[in-house]
Amino acid sequence: MGRKIVVAIGGNSLIKDREHQTVEDQYGAICETASQIAEICRDNRVLITHGNGPQVGFILQRSDIAFQSAAHMHRVPLVSCDADTQGAIGYQIQQALGNEFRKGGWDKNVVTLVTQIEVDRDDPAFEKPAKPIGSFYTPEEAEMIRQTNLDWQLMEDAGRGFRRVVASPLPKEIVELEAIRTLYERDFVLIAAGGGGIPVVSEGGQFRGVDAVIDKDRASALLASRLEADVLIISTAVTHAALNYKKENEERLGRIDRGTMGKYLEEGHFAAGSMKPKIEAALDFLERGGKEAIITDPAHIVDALEDRTGTRIY
């Protein structure tokens, strides 16, 4: 049944710019991505994961605004916002991909699986928020926010502006792995580990949700290696990972072995919270037995899989 492929859809890749971030705009972006993914489902076994950086930030901010401005409105904890994004984004992917299959007259099942991922309660990431979520702010806006939202931490995000950051612990175990594996092997097209999974900690054999956002690239690499996938495709807003990103001597990376990529990673070419976790996830996946990891944008998923574009690490 072809290759075993995990495709990770970037949350930021679903939002083209500030003027196109409504739910309808995001569905449009998902439809474009879905037509590419449907194409690779024809001959391969495919599982889809997705990020939630912008979306989880919007939900959290909406909750804060409602809490401050309306009587009797409760706050929504971050972990619950994570779960909300699995449902809302999963629904859109499930519908768009299902429609592609219906269009092609293919008999394929698509299903979204609510996924919890265990993290370490002592993960140092809880003390050092580093995962950017929600909107981008100018330096002036960021300064205003610092003065009014005292509990927010902000960070510059890859030359694109300032963003709120939250804790992002490492994923350890996928709670629903057996269910995922069973459906995957039975040829269901699965959407799982959305938003990096819902972070939970284990306490005396019971799980409890924690307020954090797991990086979806790391969660996707973990899931891909647990499923013994051949290829991990990371779909994001750029066609390639680059050296000297956004500088005059920027250089896009094409085919590259993991040793060389590891060296570039150490040299600090990839920004924390955006490209760095993708490169780390790709190398991690290869180290655990994966054959290749591809980084490209939604429009080039098919081309990249066929080795015509994108960054391909082997």
**Which residues are identified as catalytic?**
11-12, 131, 216, 278
Q: Of 231, 207, 211, 212, whose CA–CA distance to 221 is shortest?
A: 231
Which residue, judged by CB position, is nearest to ligand ADP in the bound state? 10
201 vs 231, which CB is nearer to ligand ADP?
Answer: 231
Asked if 91 and 113 touch (Cβ cutoff 8 Å), the reply is no
Q: How far apart are the first and last CA of the chain?
A: 22
Q: What residue ranges bind ligand ADP (CB under 6 A)? A: 10-13, 51, 53, 158, 160, 236-238, 241-242, 245, 269-271, 274-275
Query: In angstroms, what is the minimal distance from the CB of 157 to ligand ADP?
Result: 7
Nearer to ligand ADP, 45 or 50 (CB): 50
Q: Least distance (Å) from ligand ADP to the CB of residue 8?
A: 8
What count of other Cβ atoms lies within 10 Å of the Cβ of residue 314? 14
φ, ψ of residue 165 in degrees (nearest 5) = -120, 145
* Residues 10, 16, 19, 25, Cα dihedral to 10°: -70
In the bound complex, what is the minimum distance in angstroms from residue 159's beta carbon to ligand ADP?
7
Nearer to ligand ADP, 145 or 271 (CB): 271
- Residue with Cβ nearer ligand ADP (13 or 225): 13
Least Cα distance to 83 among 202, 175, 221 occurs for: 175
Neighbouring residues of 113: CB distance < 8 A, sequence distance ≥ 6 = 176, 179, 180, 183, 190, 191, 192
Which of helix, strand or coil describes residue 8? Answer: strand
Q: How far is the CB of 21 from ligand ADP (least distance, A)?
A: 13
Instruction: Output 103 or 263, the one with its CB closest to ligand ADP.
Output: 263
Least Cβ distance, residue 252 to ligand ADP (angstroms): 8
Task: Name the DSSP class of 124.
Answer: G
